[in-house]
Amino acid sequence: MDIRAVIFDLDGVIVDTAQHHFLAWRRLAEELGIACPPDLKDRVRGISRMEALRIVLGDAWPTYQPQARELADRKDAYYRELIEGLGPQDLLPGVAELVADLKGNRVKVGVATGSRNGKTVLARLGILAEFDAIVDGHSGAESKPAPDLFLYAARALGIPPSQCLVIEDAPAGVLAAELAGMHSLAIGEEKLFSGVRPDLVLPGLAGLTRQGLLRALAEATEGISTWLVEAGDELSPQARETVLAVGNGYLSTRGTYEEKHPGELRATLINGVYDPVPIYFTELANCPDWTRVELEVEGERFSPGSGRVLTEGRTLDLRDGVLRRRVRWRTPRGQQVEIQTMRFASLAEPHLCLQSYAVTPLTEEVQVRLEVPLEAAPGNPGLPPLPEVPLNHWEVLASDAEGRQVHLLLRTRRSGIELAASLGVRIHGVPEERVEVQAWSGPCPGLSLTVRLSPGETLQVAKFVAYATSLETSAPLPCSRAQLAGAGEKGVAELLSEHRAAWGRLWARCDVEIAGDELAQRAVRFNLYQLLIAAPYHTDRASIPAKALTGFGYRGHVFWDTDVFMLPFFALTLPEVARNLLLYRHHTLPGARENARERGYAGARYAWESADDGREVTPRWVPAASGEPIPILCGELEQHISADVAYAVWSYWQASGDAGFMCDQGAEILLATAAFWASIARYDPAKERYEIRGVMGPDEYHERVDNNAFTNAMARWNIEVALDALDWLRHSHPEKAEGLERELGLTGEELARWREVARRMYVPQDPASGLIEQFEGFFQLEEVNLAELAPRTRSLQALLGREGVQQAQVLKQPDVLMLLYLLRDRYDERTVRANWDYYEPRTDHEFGSSLGPPIHAALACELGEIEVAYRHFLRAALVDLEDLRGNTAEGVHAASAGGVWQAVVFGFAGLRLTPTGPVARPRLPGHWKRLRFSIRYRGRRYVFDLTPGMAGPVSPLPGER
């Protein structure tokens, strides 16, 4: 950290004038006959005099508002009288020494205060001449928490924001420093600053030197490093975009740079905004981008290959999903500028995105121009084999430019979803009247801002973009306009504060703390962050796609990934999200029924790939480069999806005890899927068993097999829990049960047949060893020695061919082991062990499915193989952070993220949900010093705080409700 200037707040940092202000305000209040609030002294600290006046006047504000300025002046006069008595003895401890030490080390010092009496006070204190610059209430700058006072001070000092440190005693001042792009030291009690992000908190300045300050700052930064992600050059540019995505459940936006780069995959995906597309049936339409800004310095555009980037860094803060960037750029003409940007998708106002872009010339005065477009149609990637020819799903219905705002109204071309986006800006750092702003409408509306800046002077543009779609409102454009207007009134500081508070509440419910393993700690938080930015908090009509909303892989389709891999996390931490995910499955039941009917089955057959209406949207084939179609069979064969959805219903029901859901939606899903299984199972009279033939199990290396153990056992389980649910419903909501029986044709005869199907369902297993055969004939397939093929750089399918793996005992991902994992209460450890020993070595862990490693990690814990578990765990936890599979560019592995939580909580912590409540049976990796997390179970919160010493069943601490 290179600190070249320190900017001091005045009151509370250099001198404690709080008492003087308080006395002046109190005198004014007394004269007006108004009773002061008891905590007045604290409340008026560090805020503008007009805000303070409002607090002082309280209910009398409307009466006195017309005289506000006069009253404030009166208070100022009293205050000036009071501070007449100040002298050098009133300097707070350590200030004079710190200033001297800084100056001795050629660090510039300045003061930035909203007070109009700043210079008087400094003069009285005898320290005025020490400061290189003083910016006070006469500067005309917007008051803190706006960044302007600090930016003006930096300009006066001639030092760019990134090299300034602010010393503040008020949270609003700390926030202002952050918004100015400066470092900050907060003076006071730590808890006072919980809502803001000082780099360092100290009780006071006594004894502080430059050296000590730098050391303390470095330590403090180290302390939060597991919350920070800095995707570096070890990742491809497109993988970095995925890793640095920001989002808020309503939308996510990839971490593309502000300026356009060749090959970038710029994307903002709003959940549920699907539009048809050839081959893939439908896909999430890429929405107008809110992050693009193009910079020109003296007519030279900041773009790859132009001039030279001297330093560059980007940091995603997982605590609040804020992405920051700092660049030093030398233009082709040799001028240097500093660029600092910040962006977030508000978690508090999910329709709102906020970005700030700040430019500071470093070497000479330059003309700076920012172009801020609202790009209607960045387009979706094209179809194979030509992803670079994008598809444009949007038709522009209207485009307006008004003053400093532009608005777009779009409609998807086939699905007819309307989307409005409104963009507005606020200017900080230079007086607004100096900035020439132009707005234009048209298919790609936008704004440009032009200004001449002197060295050290910063133009900071805060950009607000509001979105609304016809999925949530009948009037998207008025809605996005209103959102934008509201955002403009609140301003960046308040929006950021609300956003942070919302993230704070989420992490309080979900965080998993791991001590002793920074790599794991950061990776786990990164994976949870991915689940949190993807969660549908506000809708039950959309689920979480396989790549969440961070990329175009699988075109935004929803798989069992959500139900089996992600849902348990939500069910046990944010059950309202789990409920929305299942309501999505309920809303799409008509599509699932149609899927079954079309294929000649009863009940509901969920789509292997699902989108807006539950119809099957797995591509039937994709084009090869040669022009030939490559068939894709999962959509027709992976029947197990229907049992997976039932499993999700059951899991949520177990965790939440949500009887309303079970009665109104859950039971119907369980029964409709059971009806499907009862109709697809065929009785073989010779063998006296029910069979399911011609399917694909979880292991997609074997495409059309008979009696896949996973499918058959899950089908049996599905029928059993459906019958249980029906029993429960008959007792608790008999009229509802009757209705469902009538609707689904569940006569006594039919239910008897279900029981028979479940009882006689064939699952090939050797009773002696417990070994389950993945499907009929698997054991007869060719043996392949995977060790002989190591080290590999490609999947087994790529090596052996599609036909080759079909004929071999190799697995893309756990199949029998997946069954044992899901229904682990039904199998004993001996069975788990026997099957583990058989299947684990035959599985393509590195290049098969990313769904495998977290499940293997959890199962390995159960078998006590902690080192093996940890290896599998890391393979899952780092899949995107280190792009282990080379496809992070297409979006995060959201199922793996859910699996990582399961590996930690069910694996290392050994969580079991027992009839008497949750218990843990920890088996932590040797180097972990602590594992702490909480769950919500049947309406109550439980905290697990596990350390290496613990063994056997550990009960949780009760958490707040």
Selection from 547, 581, 569, 571 nearest residue 904 by Cα: 569
Q: Per rule CB under 8 A, is residue 395 in the interface with a second copy?
A: yes
Q: Which is nearer to a second copy, 371 or 613 (CB)?
A: 371
Single residue of 94, 204, 379, 516 touching a second copy by CB under 8 A: 379
Q: How many CA atoms lie within 13 A of 436 on its CB side?
A: 7
Residues within window 848-887 making contact with a second copy, judged by CB under 8 A: none
Do 324 and 229 contact (CB within 8 A), yes or no?
A: no
Do 549 and 251 contact (CB within 8 A), yes or no?
A: yes
Q: Per rule CB under 8 A, is residue 294 in the interface with a second copy?
A: yes
Q: SS in 3 state form for 224-293?
A: CHHHEECCCCCCCHHHHHHHCCEECCCEEECCCCCCCCCCCCCCEEEEEEEEEECCCEEEEEECCECCCC
- Report the amino acid identity of residue 635: G
Selection from 823, 833, 828, 842 nearest residue 774 by Cα: 842
Q: How far is the CB of 606 from a second copy (least distance, A)?
A: 18
- In whole angstroms, give the CA distance from residue 110 to residue 124: 17
Q: Per rule CB under 8 A, is residue 119 in the interface with a second copy?
A: no
Q: Which span sits near a second copy by CB under 8 A: 273-281, 669-677, 688-696, 909-917?
A: 273-281
Single residue of 279, 501, 781, 913 touching a second copy by CB under 8 A: 279
Q: How far is the CB of 275 from a second copy (least distance, A)?
A: 7
- In whole angstroms, give the CA distance from residue 393 to residue 404: 27
DSSP single-letter state for residue 391: B
Single residue of 37, 126, 332, 623 touching a second copy by CB under 8 A: 623
Q: Per rule CB under 8 A, is residue 385 in the interface with a second copy?
A: yes
Q: Bridge-partner residues for 8, per DSSP?
A: 111, 167
283 belongs to the catalytic site: no
Single residue of 183, 240, 393, 404 touching a second copy by CB under 8 A: 393
Q: Per rule CB under 8 A, is residue 633 in the interface with a second copy?
A: no
Number of residues assigned to the chain: 961
The CA-atom distances, in angstroms, between 418 and each of 20, 392, 402, 472, 820 are 57, 14, 21, 10, 45
Q: Which is nearer to a second copy, 285 or 714 (CB)?
A: 285
Single residue of 60, 383, 515, 789 touching a second copy by CB under 8 A: 383
Q: Which residues contact 787 (CB under 8 A, 6 or more apart)?
A: none
Q: How far is the CB of 17 from a second copy (least distance, A)?
A: 50
Q: How far is the CB of 238 from a second copy (least distance, A)?
A: 15
Q: Per rule CB under 8 A, is residue 390 in the interface with a second copy?
A: yes
Q: How far is the CB of 415 from a second copy (least distance, A)?
A: 11
Which residue reads 């805060």 in tokens? 462
- In whole angstroms, give the CA distance from residue 125 to residue 886: 62
Q: How far is the CB of 628 from a second copy (least distance, A)?
A: 7
Q: Which is nearer to a second copy, 61 or 621 (CB)?
A: 621
Do 335 and 302 contact (CB within 8 A), yes or no?
A: no
Which residue reads 């808890």 in tokens? 191
Which residue reads 């756990």 in tokens? 814
Catalytic residue from among 700, 703, 741, 890: 700
Q: How far is the CB of 133 from a second copy (least distance, A)?
A: 37
Single residue of 35, 129, 389, 790 touching a second copy by CB under 8 A: 389
Q: Per rule CB under 8 A, is residue 799 in the interface with a second copy?
A: no
Single residue of 18, 391, 781, 950 touching a second copy by CB under 8 A: 391
Q: How far is the CB of 379 from a second copy (least distance, A)?
A: 5
DSSP string, 664-723: IIIHHHHHHHHHHHHHH-EEETTTTEEE--SB--S-TTS-SBSS-HHHHHHHHHHHHHHH
Binding mask 441-460 for a second copy (x = CB under 8 A): xxxx-x-x------------
Q: Which is nearer to a second copy, 294 or 472 (CB)?
A: 294
Q: Which is nearer to a second copy, 277 or 721 (CB)?
A: 277
Q: How many CA atoms lie within 13 A of 88 on its CB side?
A: 6
Rg (CA), the chain: 31
Q: How far is the CB of 1 from a second copy (least distance, A)?
A: 37
Q: Which is nearer to a second copy, 94 or 276 (CB)?
A: 276
Q: Classify strands 200-202 and 183-187 as parallel, antiparallel or unpaired.
A: parallel
Binding mask 230-269 for a second copy (x = CB under 8 A): ------------------------------x-x-------
Size of the site for a second copy (CB under 8 A): 44
- Which residues form the catalytic set? 700
Residues that bind a second copy (CB under 8 A): 260, 262, 275-279, 281, 294, 371, 373, 375, 377, 379, 382-386, 388-393, 395-396, 413-414, 438, 440-444, 446, 448, 619-621, 623, 627-629
